[in-house]
Amino acid sequence: MALLTGRVAMVTGGGRGIGEASARKMAEHGAGVILADMNLASAQAVADDINARGGEAKALEINVAEFEKIPAKIQEAKALFGRIDILVNVAGIVGSTPIEEITLESWDRMMDIDLKSMFFVTQAVFAVMKEQNYGKLVHMSSLAALRGGRSSDASYAAAKAGILNLSKCFALHGAAYHITSNAVCPGNILTPMGKSLSWSHVDPKTYIPLGRYGTAEDIANAVLFYASEMSDYVTGDFMNVNGGLYM
């Protein structure tokens, strides 16, 4: 069953990891996909492969931390397919700086890339969705938002917690326009970014109830739920995808 036939999805950070997996999953279900990434070559390679497999995808270069350029970039994205039905906010960074060593500069960088950019990208897409009277917003938060940063640092946990609240704000303001807003909270996921963290060298059977690390595909399945009509009566919510690690 194709759950997203006729829909258009934009994925920030779509050139690799969870963003790539989410874009591929939505393309498999019939969506036209915009792979928005600061690494245009990476996004284009994914788009080319999706197209070669019978899907429909286009690449868009965007640096989500260049805030003043975001409105124009979203209009550029809209022009690729004529609309944006789904936005998946994945672009971001992670940190593992000890709490005593976080600097003003590193704190501001984390907030800019992981939280501030999420708001302004969503704000610009929100205006498009209001005109359409329809939209699905999906934001990538983290288990760290719920229980604090352990292998990740405090600034990352704080930014991801902020995403949960902003998601609710868009849910409240979007409901009248048939726009839903939800978040996904991944646990320890073996993406290229995840493999750089200390937990990736520990046997998951020793501390994750389901006994394995998550994959980008596991997160993409949650994204598909929130992006499709299956979640039409779900908004302001978040989903834990962590193999039971939250317990």
In one-letter notation, the amino acid at residue 174 is G
Active-site annotation holder among 134, 156, 213, 233: 156
Quick check: 60 and 12 in contact, CB under 8 A? no
Please, what is the end-to-end C-alpha distance for the chain in angstroms?
33
Active site residue 156: yes
Task: Determine the Cα–Cα distance for residues 118 and 112; give it in Å rounded to an integer.
Answer: 9
Quick check: 218 and 175 in contact, CB under 8 A? no
CA distances from 231 to 85, 146, 183, 226 (A): 14, 22, 12, 5
> Rounded to 5 degrees, what are φ and ψ at 115?
-120, -55
Which positions are catalytic? 156
